[in-house]
Amino acid sequence: MAKKIAAGNWKMNGLMGDLPQIDAIAAAVPTGITALICPPALLVAPAAARTAGTALRIGGQTCHSAAKGAHTGEISANMLRDAGADAVILGHSERRQDQGETDADIAAKISAAQSAGLQAIFCVGESEATRDAGHALAHVADQITAALNANCDAQQLMVAYEPIWAIGTGKTATPVQISEMHAHIRATLAGIFGDTAQDIPLLYGGSVNATNAAEIFACPNVDGALVGGASLTADNFIPIMQALAAA
Nearest to ligand PGA of 39, 206 (CB atom): 206
Q: Which is nearer to ligand PGA, 86 or 162 (CB)?
A: 162
Helices (H), the chain: 19-26, 41-51, 77-82, 93-98, 103-115, 128-132, 136-147, 175-193, 213-217, 234-246
Q: Which is nearer to ligand PGA, 193 or 237 (CB)?
A: 237
Contact 7, 38 (CB under 8 A): yes
Among 4, 5, 6, 9, binds ligand PGA (CB under 6 A): 9
The answer to whether the CB of 27 falls within 8 A of the CB of 240 is no
| Spatial CB neighbours of 17, under 8 Å, sequence gap ≥ 6 | none
DSSP 102: -
**Distance of alpha carbon 177 from the chain centroid:** 19
For the question of residue 94 being annotated catalytic, the response is: no
Among 35, 208, 213, 240, binds ligand PGA (CB under 6 A): 208
Q: How far is the CB of 93 from ligand PGA (least distance, A)?
A: 7
Residue from the set 22, 206, 216, 240 that interacts with ligand PGA by CB under 6 A: 206
The span of 16-24, 98-106, 224-232, 239-247 binding ligand PGA (CB under 6 A) equals 224-232
When binding is defined by CB under 6 A, the residue of 168, 191, 194, 220 that contacts ligand PGA is 168
Told to check if 229 binds ligand PGA by CB under 6 A, we report yes
* Closest by Cα among 172, 205, 202, 171 to 186: 202
**Catalytic: 101?**
no
Tell me: does residue 162 bind ligand PGA (CB under 6 A): yes
Instruction: Show Cβ contacts of residue 138 under 8 Å, excluding neighbours closer than 6 positions.
Output: none
226 near ligand PGA, rule: CB under 6 A: yes
Number of residues that bind ligand PGA (CB under 6 A): 13
Residue 202 interacts with ligand PGA (CB under 6 A): yes or no: no
Stretch that binds ligand PGA, among 105-113, 138-146, 183-191, 226-234 (CB under 6 A): 226-234
Nearest CA to 223 out of 14, 47, 27, 32 is that of 32
Catalytic residues: 92, 162
Binding site for ligand PGA (CB under 6 A): 9, 162, 167-168, 205-208, 226-230
